[in-house]
Amino acid sequence: MKAKDRRLSELRSVIKEITPKEAQDLIKDNGASLIDVRDSDEVAQGSPRGALRLGRSFLELRVEDSVPNLEQPVIVMCAGGARSLFAAEALVGMGYKQVFSLAGGFNRWKNEGLGFEVPRFLDAKGKERYSRHLLMKEVGEQGQLKLLDSKVLLIGAGGLGSPSAYYLAAAGVGTIGLVDHDVVDRSNLQRQIIHTEDRIGMPKVESAKIAIEALNPDVKVKTYQHKLDVSNVEEIFSQYDVIVDGTDNLTARYLINDACVKLGLPNVHAAVYRFDGQITVFWPAYNKDKSGCYRCMFPEPPPPELAPSCAEAGVLGVMPGVFGLLQAVEVLKILLDVGEPLVGRQLTYDALGGEFYTMKLKPNPKCRYCRDGSVFPGYDEVAEVCASNLGGH
């Protein structure tokens, strides 16, 4: 008898082997975890849905991140049922109380007609480009694939939208939509870092597209070189997962809010003025917390006589940079479902004083747009009200 066969028969006497059908029941009825210990090229051919694809080489080092409870039943699976016995013994050694080995491995699982999927992987270039994300348990390979499948729309490719779009593209958000009807002006370059001197005069969405494509060819950029209005807002928004408000006028802010409420989309909202700025996420449809919308705070636009001046306000160049990046972080948190997004909270930063404050924003129970059971009241035709001092550009 060869040494390996002797060893395997020893292991069979201490590790319980179960059939694929028994495994399936254990997963369904007892919440067992199925751990696939095969190499990634084998997993790429197919793996049971929901299996933890931890591989063999880092199994002991990583298993607790996925299965922290040692009492939880675990089923170890390889291709034919031999390697899984060695791996199962290692898990018993770590203190897992109920460890099983799948007899016949994935081959038998497949032959018995049980369900599996062909998982997606990043290719070698993707693994290198996003390596710093892959090292984080908050992102990892599946998280990165999720980002690549995500679609984010930025309204405004100016002070806020420049850094936001640029970093989201770098981070590998697969589809980025940009709405801006303006062209690049020299006075933009003091803060709109996605644009350059030699693109002065070019539409901002085109200029941003050039910068993004030079940085990350994985990203698809869709440009909308026109103003948002009631006739186009839903058609555009409904193609995206998250909306980023980087506009500088009230007409757009109300329209963005109303469409996001209607479509249930998160609205990552920021505004910058001189040395101050603020950011929050309006998302009444958020399933983890109750929160309101922009109209909970400002139900109607101000009458023209109270509207702020039309003159462009001064802004320290880097302020929209800070807030555009805070917006980008919030977008990634929402897409990856990590941490706590700023839903129902507003962060204010006074750069001169160097102070940050967070305050709670309560939903307004009388809000026409987002109160419980409200029927969408339709879009208001909000006239052009100047509000550049609320703006991000």
Partner 1 sequence: MTDASLKAVSTPSIPDEPRTTAKTELAREQLIRYSRQLRLPDVTAADQQRLLNTRVALIGLGGLGSPTALYLASSGIGHLTLCDGDNVELSNLHRQLLHSMADLGRNKCDSAQDRLRSINPVLSITKVPEYLAGPVLDTTIASCDLVVDASDNFPTRFAVNASCARHLKPLLSGSVIRMEGQASMFRHDLLHAPCYRCLYSPDEDNLFGSCDGEGILAPVAGIIGTIMATETLKFVLTGQSSLDGQLLQVDARQLNMKLSLLRNDPSCPTCAARRTSP
Q: Would you tell me which residues interact with partner 1 (CB under 8 A)?
A: 125, 128-136, 138-139, 163, 166-168, 170-172, 186-187, 189-193, 195-198, 214-217, 274-275, 312-319, 321-322, 325-326, 328-330, 332-333, 338-340, 342, 345, 347, 349, 351-356, 358
**Nearest distance, CB of residue 205 and partner 1, angstroms:** 18
Minimum CB distance to partner 1, residue 269 (Å): 14
Q: Indicate the burial class of 261 (C-beta count within 10 angstroms; 0-12, 13-18, 19 or more).
A: buried
Nearer to partner 1, 151 or 274 (CB): 274
Q: Cβ closer to partner 1: 94 or 359?
A: 359
- 293 or 332: whose CB is closer to partner 1? 332
Letter for the amino acid at 61? L
Q: How far is the CB of 196 from partner 1 (least distance, A)?
A: 4
Comparing CB distances to partner 1, the nearer of 129 and 262 is 129
Two tokens at 122? 């990043």
H or E stretch covering 258:
helix 250-263
Where do the DSSP E strands lie in the chain? 16-18, 33-36, 52-53, 74-77, 99-102, 151-155, 175-179, 220-224, 242-245, 267-273, 276-282, 345-350, 355-360
Assign 48 to helix, strand or coil: coil
> Which is closer to partner 1, CB of 294 or CB of 349?
349
What is the sign, positive or negative, of the torsion defined by CA atoms of 230, 236, 239, 240? negative
* Active site (catalytic) residues: 310
CA distance 131 to 382: 46
Q: Which of 269, 252, 393, 253 is nearest to 319 (CA)?
A: 393
Judged by beta carbon, residue 102 or residue 165, the one nearer partner 1 is: 165
Provide, rounded to whole angstroms, the least separation between the CB of residue 210 and partner 1: 10
Whether 231 contacts 255, CB under 8 Å: no
Q: Kind and range of the H or E element at 186?
A: none
- Nearest-approach distance from CB 345 to partner 1, in angstroms: 8
> Least distance from C-beta 198 to partner 1, angstroms?
7
Q: Which residues contact 125 (CB under 8 A, 6 or more apart)?
A: none
CA distances from 127 to 66, 123, 141, 265, 351 (A): 21, 6, 8, 30, 37
For partner 1, the closer CB: 8 or 215:
215
Query: What distances in angstroms separate CA 358 from CA 299, 346, 347, 348, 349, one per listed residue?
Result: 22, 5, 4, 6, 9
**Amino acid making up residue 363:** P
Determine the length of the chain: 393
Nearest distance, CB of residue 165 and partner 1, angstroms? 11
59-66 helix and 83-94 helix, angle to the nearest 10 degrees: 70
